[in-house]
Amino acid sequence: MRADAMTRQTVPIGKTRSCPHCRATILESAAVCPGCKHHLRFEARDRSQAVRTGQVALKVSGQFARSVTEGPGEYSVVVVIRDASGTELARKVIGVGSLAPGEERTVDLMVEIFSP
């Protein structure tokens, strides 16, 4: 048995850990943090190993703005994940802030699905 095969561990699907750089909860199988983009480990790849690529299952982009006549305002960006029966699995406040009259913000959301 090769040395690199002996050091590889099987990670249960969906197991999470904390990114040591940004403290976001990420999948343990991730080699790069999807939040801060820091490399968590460098995997030796040979030609028999496929590069881990995800299928983009959802991609949404939108803008919101505060009209000049409305004056200043505040906003909260919240993401909620639900299962098929509608049970809430997670709710996260992603960001909050303020908008001056005439200012706008853009929000991009992307969901990727990976094969184990």
Q: What pLDDT shows up at residue 62?
A: 97
| Burial tier of 7 (Cβ tally within 10 Å: 0-12, 13-18, 19+) | exposed
Segment (H or E) for 106: strand 104-113
Of 61, 87, 92, 62, nearest to 76 by C-alpha is: 92
- The angle subtended at Cα 108 by Cα 116 and Cα 35, nearest 5°, is 50
Q: What is the mean pLDDT of residues 38-62?
A: 71
The dihedral region occupied by 21, where left means phi > 0, alpha psi between -120 and 50, and beta the remainder, is: alpha
Confidence band of 104 (pLDDT split at 50, 70, 90): very high
Q: Is the pLDDT of residue 45 over 70?
A: no
Tell me the pairing of strands 55-65 and 25-27: unpaired
Q: What pLDDT shows up at residue 79?
A: 95
| Percent above pLDDT 70 for the chain | 79
> When comparing pLDDT for 98 and 2, which is higher?
98
Of 12, 10, 32, 9, nearest to 20 by C-alpha is: 32
Which of 17-26, 61-70, 76-85, 100-109 is predicted least confidently? 17-26
Q: What is the mean pLDDT of residues 23-43?
A: 83
